Chain A
């Protein structure tokens, strides 16, 4: 059976097989796009950032020192791009994935469960958007992408103590923003 591990795919790309890079793109594009969106970029801009990141990864693939950690190496490219794109240009606000979904201000949750779920998501997104970027990044990596503090250390280069501080402050900030949701009773 063909080895489709990251390191095998990287090796194939470096030996001239560009299609193998397509597999890497498919494997990580959702995760990277999610990260970029959670960091506050709207849909079209997020796609641009992710596309740019993959193309840069391709150009510099020979510099990926540990191919079995391709995802972490790719993440650093994405994270750097988010930082520099966001700092130099407009930092786009989160836009609803559902353009017809309810807004925070104008609509109250109705009896429809899907509408209520969308409303909750909008509130969570808005709350996340108010959290400073470094704290948001730590929350996204841990809660949305399942990384441990140790993983986040390796991905971001920040110290363990800094990451834990960001997580704690980020949690506190979200807790304050989402206070009403903590007192509601929801089905699991």
Chain B
């Protein structure tokens, strides 16, 4: 706990300095018209402790892609709203500073896959101590996007986090899943095959493929 407060103090010193530098650099990279459109959005995001760097990145992306300032503004505003919803939902019940920018972004992306914030919050609460869960939340999204039911994907990723499976292995699950699907396996079997290929044990209580259709759990 003492270490956490020490780190908090350090962050309070370092973040403003880093932010000032980022402000100067960002402003010099953006034309005046676009800056006028996006600055109020970024200012509000800063006040609301949203992942501002991700929003700045979206502005720079729009400029690189020759998008008009008004459209950049719309996209960034919409993204900020997604972040706002995610952060607000996830901070309910969590201790302060338990939420990193990467996790907020990942949670917002998960919401696009219709993964409820309660599912993401449960995953965050399952982490042993510290460490960003940006990668597990992203892997969760990817599995759901590929047709794995939310509950099954969440159970798996909670198991991965709780048992400290190396995230480097967890990050490979979607790719292995794709490979198994491409070889003609049905989704449930493809997930099992992906876990086997990575030597990740099945979550406890998980039924082997064929006994129950994906998404349906036996009672009790």
Contact = CB atoms under 8 A, between A and B. Distances in A.
B21 interface: yes
Nearest to A88: B53
Interface residues of B, number: 8
19 contacts: A42-B21, A89-B18, A90-B18, A90-B19, A90-B20, A90-B21, A90-B22, A90-B25, A91-B21, A91-B22, A91-B25, A92-B21, A92-B25, A93-B21, A93-B24, A93-B25, A93-B28, A129-B28, A130-B28
B215 to A, nearest CB: 39
Contacts of B22: 90-91
Contacts of A42: 21
Interface residues of A, number: 8
Nearest to A92: B21
Contacts of A130: 28
Main secondary structure of the interface of A (DSSP, over half): loop
Interface of A: 42, 89-93, 129-130
Nearest to A90: B21
Contacts of B21: 42, 90-93
Interface string B21-64: 11011001000000000000000000000000000000000000
A104 to B, nearest CB: 13
Contacts of B18: 89-90
Most buried by B among A42, A92, A129, A130: A92
> Which of B19, B21, B22, B28 is packed against the most chain A CB atoms within 10 Å?
B21
Interface string B1-30: 000000000000000001111101100100
Contacts of B28: 93, 129-130
Given A90-B22, A93-B25, 6 more contacts: A90-B20, A90-B21, A90-B25, A91-B22, A91-B25, A130-B28
